[in-house]
Amino acid sequence: MAKRLDIQDLNLHYGKFHAVQDVSLQVHARGVTAFIGPSGCGKSTVLRALNRMHEVIAGARVEGKVLLDGEDVYASNVDPVQVRRTIGMVFQRANPFPTMSIRDNVVAGLKLAGEKNKKHLDEVAERSLRSANLWEEVKDRLNKPGGSLSGGQQQRLCIARAVAVQPDVLLMDEPCSALDPISTLAIEDLIAELKKDYTIVIVTHNMQQAARVSDQTAFFNLRAVGEPGQLVEIEETGKIFSNPNQKATEDYISGRFG
Amino acid sequence: MTDSTKSERHPADAEPGAAAAPSGPQDPKTPAEPRSDSKVVRIGDRVFHSVATGSGVFVIALIAAIGLFLLIRAIPSLQANEVSFLFSREWQAGDPDNLRFGIIDLAWITVASSLVALVLAMPTAFGISLFLTQYAPRSLARPFAYVVDLLAAVPSVIYGLWGFLVLTPVISPVAVWLNTNLGWIPLFADGNIPVGTGSNVFVAGIVLAVMILPIITGVTREVFERTPTVQIEGALALGATKWEVVRTTVWPFGRNGFIGGSMLGLGRALGETVALTVILSATQEAPSYSIFDAGATFASKIALGSAEFNNNMTVGAYISAGLVLFVTTFAVNALARWIEGRSGKGKE
Ligand SMILES: Nc1ncnc2c1ncn2[C@@H]1O[C@H](COP(=O)(O)OP(=O)(O)OP(=O)(O)O)[C@@H](O)[C@H]1O
Ligand SMILES: [Mg+2]
């Protein structure tokens, strides 16, 4: 069940370091929102704040609101574990549980949520692997360890694992940065497929990728090293890449940055 | 966290000055790598390589020599032994013309006290390591870990006195309770000294548990700390609770290290002498194979026997017992290293 995200006045800190300042933006349901910007401007930090992964880092702090269909995920009565179950995440480096079997990797989230019915788990494993375009490649070795797959397959396994719990939102932090062009295309196709059912936020350094997969694009920047990162603008993707409002955005996407 | 630990662990990887490198000498890549400035480095490499290989060979030769020495001294006495060395409960080694010595009772006291120690120390060490690496705030974890490490610095005779004088009276109600309620299990039946007052294997096991706790905790803490952050975050992002993160990532990665560390602790416990001599020497009676026995371990038997060391045959009898202990501890330690080494596999 796709939901929209409404980020209001988000400020993020690592100890004394103010990493991200005053970010407000909306992530539409059933669509892809891309985060772009130079390294260190806080894209990952913002992304990780959306499913409360930011706070697992010692000393990290969050101010502001993240509303999931109007409900603040940072409200005092909300359990961060529950938030992470409804807002899934795919990381830059594929991180399947290496000793767990492929099947168990896919259904790990469901098992954590208490699902025991083997038949149901098998069904979900197949459905999720199919939707991650991995089923054909692994259907004959579901009991092999997750670590035995290639890098691109591992990343698709992680996507399958994330969609298996049918999250409201799917966060992806540079999911293709360690992959070859073919695997990258496979995952881009997958994103296009998934956005029919999911709300997706993707961080990417690849401009073409942002242009290809996303509906709206947010450009982040930082004024200088050591200053907090900020949101420069967020616009419909076509507009960002053809006729952005801000000069900084245009410089960045045309490679005239810095 | 992971990265910083790694760079601390392998400072040598970053620097070419190999003479200072503490890492293994058998790395074939280092000398083979062509480098433009390689002249000096290669000499350093070669020197380091020979020094490291040399000391390795020396250590192995030393161990082999000790084993051989023990074996040569033991054989004549073993041949003269009138009873079964492995299965006899007698120990009459004083008369060189009538040697009657068997190790079964020594083995019982040694193994029983070490196993009691493991049963108590393993879960404790697991809990402490988990707490220190996953739950405790950094400011608390460091001093706490330091205190646990300090346990290793207490001399073992102090542990012995503590066990004998302080722990025995404190723990005897527990011993009595176990004996009364679970006495139908042979392990908890009456021993060869009164349950309520004696310093027995049970007390010895508790003392040994405290003594090996720093070893097990040290190893376990380190492997738990090395759990890759990406794995922990992967589990968290699936909605795992802290405990589920431990179950799905920390434990699979650290299990072998924990078991290896426990085996190292076992090796230490098997050979412990002074503390157990103090605690367990209350009786000469043969043990009745309960944890409420007192008696002698391999090591304490040998220590107590020194008054008899006046002829080669008697010494040979004690050396035979020593040889068994030597081989056992050696095997346990080797196994520990092997298991521990496997914990790094499949990582990253
Ligand atoms: N765990 C951390 N502890 C302290 N500071 C951090 C931590 N993670 C990130 N930072 C800092 O926060 C700022 C934003 O980092 P972030 O990882 O969000 O950047 P990013 O936009 O994702 O960069 P990249 O494109 O290189 O991934 C950087 O200055 C970074 O050094
Ligand atoms: Mg990043």
Lowest mean pLDDT among A60-64, A184-188, A194-198, B36-40: B36-40
The predicted model gives B298-312 an average pLDDT of 92
pLDDT, tens digit (0-9, with 9 covering 90-100), for B202-242: 999 999 999 999 999 999 999 999 999 999 999 999 999 99
Q: In a mutagenesis test of the A interface, which of B226, B231, B233, B238 is the best target, namely the one with the most A β-carbons within 10 Å?
A: B238
Confidence band for B19, pLDDT divided at 50, 70 and 90: very low
CB contact under 8 A, B252 and A99: yes
User: Given A85, A91, A165, which is nearest B234 (Cβ)?
Assistant: A91
Given a cut of 70, is residue B333 above it in pLDDT?
yes
> pLDDT at position B347, please?
40
> pLDDT at position B2, please?
39
Short-list B30, B10, B33, B12, CA closest to B21: B12
> pLDDT at position B37, please?
52
> pLDDT at position B41, please?
64
Confidence band for A256, pLDDT divided at 50, 70 and 90: low
Which tokens in the block code for residue A71? 């409900």
> pLDDT at position A190, please?
87
- Residue B154 Cα, ligand 2 centroid: separation in angstroms? 48
% chain B with pLDDT above 70? 86
Cα(A53)–Cα(A74) distance, rounded to whole angstroms?
12
Quick one: closest CA in B to A165, which residue?
B238
> pLDDT at position B120, please?
97
Q: Which residue has the higher pLDDT, A211 or B3?
A: A211
The predicted model gives A107-112 an average pLDDT of 92
**How many residues belong to chain B?**
348
Confidence band for B137, pLDDT divided at 50, 70 and 90: confident
CA distance A175 to chain B (A): 13
Give the domain extent around A12. Answer: 5-95+169-253
B101 SS3 class = strand
- Residue A251 Cα, ligand 1 centroid: separation in angstroms? 22
Chain B residues with CB under 8 Å of A97 CB are 231, 234-235, 248-249, 252
Cα(A1)–Cα(A29) distance, rounded to whole angstroms?
9
**Mean pLDDT of chain A, nearest integer:** 92
Q: Of chain B residues 127-186, which have a CB less than 8 A from chain A?
A: 137-138
Ligand 1 first shell, C-beta below 6 A: A 14, 17, 19, 37, 39-45, 57, 229
How far is CA B47 from each of CA A198, B11, B36, B41, B60, rounded to the nearest angstrom?
A: 62, 19, 19, 10, 20
- Residue A47 Cα, ligand 2 centroid: separation in angstroms? 9
The predicted model gives A85-114 an average pLDDT of 92
Short-list B175, B118, B165, CA closest to B291: B175
CATH number at residue A202: 3.40.50.300
The predicted model gives B253-272 an average pLDDT of 93
Short-list A56, A50, A82, CA closest to A170: A50
> pLDDT at position B343, please?
60
Chain A residues with CB under 8 Å of B228 CB are 95
> pLDDT at position A58, please?
86
CA distance A112 to chain B (A): 6
Residue to substitute in A17, A20, A21, A35 for testing ligand 1 pocket (most ligand atoms within 8 angstroms of CB) = A17
Q: Does B235 touch chain A (CB under 8 A)?
A: yes
> pLDDT at position B10, please?
43
Confidence band for A5, pLDDT divided at 50, 70 and 90: very high
Quick one: closest CA in A to B136, which residue?
A58
User: Given A56, A58, A97, which is nearest B138 (Cβ)?
Assistant: A58
pLDDT, tens digit (0-9, with 9 covering 90-100), for B63-78: 999 999 999 999 999 9
Confidence band for A25, pLDDT divided at 50, 70 and 90: very high
Short-list B254, B253, B264, CA closest to B214: B264
The predicted model gives A199-218 an average pLDDT of 94
Q: Does B96 touch chain A (CB under 8 A)?
A: no
- Nearest-CA residue for ligand 1 atom 8 is A45
Chain A residues with CB under 8 Å of B244 CB are 112
* DSSP code per residue over B31-82: HHS--TTHHHHHHHHHHHHHHHHHHHHHHHHHHHHHHHHHHHHHHHHHHH-S
The reply to whether A152 falls in a domain is no
CB contact under 8 A, A100 and B248: yes
> pLDDT at position A152, please?
87
- Nearest-CA residue for ligand 1 atom 5 is A14
> pLDDT at position B348, please?
36
Atom of ligand 1 nearest to the CA of A174: 27
Which tokens in the block code for residue B121? 């120390």
The predicted model gives A143-151 an average pLDDT of 90
Given a cut of 50, is residue A210 above it in pLDDT?
yes
Given a cut of 60, is residue A206 above it in pLDDT?
yes
The predicted model gives A82-104 an average pLDDT of 92
- Residue A92 Cα, ligand 2 centroid: separation in angstroms? 8
Lowest mean pLDDT among B280-284, B306-310, B339-343: B339-343
> pLDDT at position B24, please?
40
Given a cut of 70, is residue B127 above it in pLDDT?
yes
Confidence band for B26, pLDDT divided at 50, 70 and 90: very low
CB contact under 8 A, B238 and A93: no
**Mean pLDDT of chain B, nearest integer:** 86
Q: Of chain B residues 266-285, which have a CB less than 8 A from chain A?
A: none
> pLDDT at position A151, please?
87
Given a cut of 80, is residue B21 above it in pLDDT?
no
Please state which CATH class domain B61-341 belongs to. Answer: mainly alpha
Which tokens in the block code for residue B212? 């090996």
> pLDDT at position B30, please?
44
Quick one: closest CA in A to B251, which residue?
A99
Given a cut of 50, is residue A251 above it in pLDDT?
yes
Short-list B268, B282, B299, CA closest to B110: B299
> pLDDT at position B23, please?
42
Atom of ligand 1 nearest to the CA of A38: 25
Q: Are B99 and B93 in contact (CB under 8 A)?
A: yes
The predicted model gives A234-253 an average pLDDT of 92
> pLDDT at position B13, please?
41
Q: Which residue has the higher pLDDT, B6 or A118?
A: A118
CB contact under 8 A, B238 and A98: no
Given a cut of 90, is residue A187 above it in pLDDT?
no
Confidence band for A167, pLDDT divided at 50, 70 and 90: very high
The predicted model gives A217-238 an average pLDDT of 92
Q: Are B187 and B116 in contact (CB under 8 A)?
A: no
> pLDDT at position B40, please?
59
Q: Packing angle between helix B201-225 and helix B168-182, nearest 10 degrees? A: 100
Q: In a mutagenesis test of the B interface, which of A78, A89, A95 is the best target, namely the one with the most B β-carbons within 10 Å?
A: A95
Q: Are B258 and B337 in contact (CB under 8 A)?
A: no
User: Given A93, A99, A109, which is nearest B239 (Cβ)?
Assistant: A109
Task: Using CA atoms of A246, A44, A67, A56 in order, give the dihedral in degrees to the nearest 10.
Answer: -150
Domain spans in chain B, listed from the N-terminal domain onward: 61-341
To which H or E segment does residue B91 belong?
strand B91-92
Q: Does A175 touch chain B (CB under 8 A)?
A: no
| HEC profile of chain A | CCCCEEEEEEEEEECCEEEEEEEEEEECCCCEEEEECCCCCCHHHHHHHHCCCHHHCCCEEEEEEEEECCEECCCCCCCHHHHHHHEEEECCCCCCCCCCEHHHHHCHHHHHCCCCCHHHHHHHHHHHHHHCCCHHHHCCCCCCEHHHCCHHHHHHHHHHHHHHCCCCEEEEECCCCCCCHHHHHHHHHHHHHHCCCCEEEEECCCHHHHHHHCCEEEEEEECCCCCCEEEEEEEEHHHHHHCCCCHHHHHHHCCCCC
Q: Are A107 and A121 in contact (CB under 8 A)?
A: yes
Name the domain count of chain A.
1
B345 SS3 class = coil
- pTM, whole model, 2 decimals? 0.81
- Give the pairing of strands A32-36 and B100-101: unpaired
Atom of ligand 1 nearest to the CA of A48: 18
Bridge partner list, A34: A202, A217
% chain A with pLDDT above 70? 99
Cα(B160)–Cα(B326) distance, rounded to whole angstroms?
22
> pLDDT at position B12, please?
40
- Nearest-CA residue for ligand 1 atom 3 is A14
Given a cut of 80, is residue B33 above it in pLDDT?
no
Confidence band for A119, pLDDT divided at 50, 70 and 90: very high
Given a cut of 90, is residue B87 above it in pLDDT?
yes
Chain A residues with CB under 8 Å of B241 CB are 81
Cα(B268)–Cα(B253) distance, rounded to whole angstroms?
25
The reply to whether A115 falls in a domain is no
Given a cut of 60, is residue B8 above it in pLDDT?
no
Confidence band for A75, pLDDT divided at 50, 70 and 90: very high
